[in-house]
Amino acid sequence: MQVLNPSTSSPKPLQLRPYQKDIVEAVANSNSPRQLIIAGTGTGKTFMAANVIKRALNQGKKTLFFTHRNTLLTQAADEFAQIDLPVSSISSGNRVDLSEPVHVVSLQTLAYWSSSELEKLPNLFDQVIFDECHITNWFTIAQFFCPPLPDPPPFKVIGLTATPWRRSKYESLADYYQTSHVAPLPSVLMAQGFLCPFVYFTINKISRNNLKIEKNGEYEKLGQKAQVNTPEYIDKVIGEWVRLASGRPTIVFAVDIEHAHAIASRFNQAGIPAAAVDGTMSLKERRKKYQQLELEEILILVSCEALSEGFNVKKVAAIILFRLTTSRSKYYQQIGRGARPWPNKINCLVLDAVGLIDGEEFGFLEDLTEEDFAIFESEKRPSKTYSPRKTCDNCLAMVPASLRVCSHCQHEFPLPEKEVSKSVFSSMGLTIPKSQRDKITFYHDLLREAYQQQKSFNWCDRTYKMRYGQHPQPQWRKGAIFGDNPTPEQKLAYQQYLKVIATQCNLSMDWIKQNEWEF
């Protein structure tokens, strides 16, 4: 037996947020033997699980908590320590004492247990909790603790996930769970201040023409690296970081370990302190890098996989997506690393260096709906599918898009042009979630009115907050008045406008430099 020591010696007790309390109570009051908690990154799902465990412990019930990575064991222990929950671990090389009421364990460890050892567990424990259950429930060893429906499980089963999606359309968490408890949508939690708002910038997508899909369902690494693992491409991304996110603690998701270290090296050569972490490093080494980022001894931390789960530096205020993925779960896990609020952190920037947001159409965190988190067919709206159509230029008839010849007038349609690989890096442009477009239009109208009447930004921000209940993002000011290509005369006029506001409000020249968001 190993007693896990949390990273802080005297944790400050935390209180459940209202939505967390609702979920914990719903789990406790449900008679369902298979329950699923769906709560996005930053919503505190592990903390909710700790409170579920504590309630069970007060009733004399014992819990097994499963993860799929050893690095997540320590993170769980930190969360459990927030409410003084005693926890032990089952790990290889340690004597196992199953008399303790709460154990955290990696599923890989239990995979080496014999059938006779496993069969003792239902008599010793009352419930099991699967962390990251969109992954862990598909481990072979997990079938002993939570077989697919309709087979009855030997324990009460609780699943935790921020992203309840599988890559295969033939696999679903509905195969394992009967009841779900869903946290409020990210857009709601952002409005309430429980999650940090995001601002997205992206480029034209890199070419996917010749990229093969590997056995794991992801784009091949070699084809990606041929496009993005060059000094020229990396330097241009660094230039965009300097332009858009300079000074922000940032994490970067790379194609592989070699790419991660190349990115960190180029940042360091540019005078921006950076480091890379990967799975070959010990947990102690990785934690040292995490601490350096938190202390801002480094500003850039790069990885291909190590930061997707279990990483918890709340100060992170920028994410660089430097690789493609076909996984919706991985995409939102990566973005979610910047979702946690932090003092003076007004937002988190997503810098999409490969056109992932545009290319895979996973969308934006703010646009997720209740249906996106629905795992049961009864919760989903009926889907309407339409065959793609196109208009014949000759007779204006609507015909199936796949036709080469119009079925009405025999007009031959031109062959589609082949996509040309984009070797020229375009500047990253602001891209807007659908749920925010009306808000930005309203804010831009306010900014134009303020400029025409020589009013301060404060008037715009106050008016916006009165309507929407939260502050607008400063990055939304870019191009609001003059568009993306202002003339030198317009730039000069805007500078004069800032000087007038600075004089009216007794502000310094530094304020003028800090508020040139229009450009």
- Strands 102-106 and 156-161, sheet pairing: unpaired
pLDDT at 95 over 90: no
Question: Tell me, what's the pLDDT at 13?
Answer: 54
What confidence tens digit (pLDDT) does each residue in 133-175 have? Answer: 999 999 999 999 999 999 999 999 999 999 999 988 889 999 9
Chain region(s) in the chain for CATH 3.40.50.300 = 2-184, 190-367
Question: Tell me, what's the pLDDT at 382?
Answer: 47
* Residues contacting 5, CB < 8 A, separation 6+: 77
Instruction: Please count the other Cβ atoms lying within 10 Å of the Cβ belonging to residue 29.
Output: 7
- What is the rounded average pLDDT for all residues in the chain? 85
Range with the poorest average pLDDT among 79-88, 226-235, 339-348: 79-88
CATH fourth-level superfamily of 2-184: P-loop containing nucleotide triphosphate hydrolases (3.40.50.300)
**Do the Cβ atoms of 208 and 219 come closer than 8 Å?**
yes
Query: Which tokens is 312 given?
Result: 């918890």
What confidence tens digit (pLDDT) does each residue in 307-341 have? Answer: 766 678 899 999 999 999 989 999 999 999 999 99
The confidence band for 428, taking pLDDT boundaries of 50, 70 and 90, is confident
Q: Which CATH architecture has domain 190-367?
A: 3-Layer(aba) Sandwich (3.40)
Rounded mean pLDDT, 194-202: 92
The strand ranges marked E within 222-314 are: 250-253, 274-276, 300-303
The confidence band for 380, taking pLDDT boundaries of 50, 70 and 90, is low
pLDDT above 70 as % of the chain = 88
Question: Tell me, what's the pLDDT at 498?
Answer: 86
Question: Tell me, what's the pLDDT at 308?
Answer: 64
pLDDT at 183 over 60: yes
Range with the poorest average pLDDT among 16-30, 214-228, 367-381, 478-492: 367-381
CA 431, CA 300: separation in Å to the nearest integer?
23
pLDDT above 90 as % of the chain = 46
3-state secondary structure 54-122: HHHHHCCCCEEEEECCHHHHHHHHHHHHCCCCCCEEECCCCCCCCCCCEEEEEHHHHCCCCHHHHCCHH
pLDDT at 401 over 70: no
